[in-house]
Amino acid sequence: MGRLDGKVAVITGGAGGIGRAAGERFVAEGADVLLVDLDEAALAEACAEIGSNKVSYFVGDVTRAEDNQAMIDTATERYGGVDAFLANAGIEGDVASILDYDETRFDQVMAVNVKGPFLGLKAAIPALTERGGGSVIITSSVAGIRGAPGVAPYVTSKHAVIGLMKSAAKEAAAANIRVNTVNPSPVETRMMRSLEEGMAPGAADQAKAMMEANIPMGRYAEPEDIANIMLFLASDDASFITGSVYLADGGSVA
């Protein structure tokens, strides 16, 4: 038997590296999965890679309340309900000092990374309550517990979702809904390629080597490393865990 047999999961940012890996892992453990993202072609590719009739997709914008409600309604219509919600969609923004950072870009980072999970919670909590409880997992970052130069909006957003998680965990506990964050260090994804280039234009490999040197385990995480923690938090093995920050950082902040 799979650890998620009979469960339904909605995963935002489902076309990205972590979202795809989580979708694949959840399906392998018996869940029906709805991947959500803005890029339909990438969503279709992700579903094809997973290669199961237990996964489908929904094209939606997490910054819009109506899209958040629609993705939860879609999962309910297709699969009968929602047991796990992964608020995983996120953007890195630009690499620039606070003095040089564009205000519109700041607003975009906050809208996707903070407003998105907030609206997702508003839509998901009633559906999870109808199922007798469930799990919400918000993707934060090591940047959620420490500062970093050049990416202040991203760092701010990842701190903010920890506060959102802790408040939601207190509010939703009576409904048997657990809310936690997963906080990765750099992961082998498109986002890190963008950040590496922003930190060292034309010398991204050097930026990556510098960051890896600051990780005691000497490497970036693989998306599957993060998906495994999300699987644990979505499963009944984590039935008494809520309001917690789960670092997956290779020892970076030890």
Please give the positions annotated as active site. Answer: 154
Please check whether residue 109 is in contact with residue 152, taking contact to mean a CB–CB distance below 8 angstroms.
Answer: no
The bridge status of strand 55-59 relative to strand 84-87 is unpaired
Residue whose entry in the numeric block shows the structure tokens 């809310």: 179
Q: Where are the beta strands (DSSP E) in 41-88?
A: 55-59, 84-87
Please check whether residue 161 is in contact with residue 114, taking contact to mean a CB–CB distance below 8 angstroms.
Answer: yes
DSSP 8-state assignment for residue 20: H
Q: Is 42 exposed, middle or buried (0-12, 13-18, 19+ CB in 10 A)?
A: middle
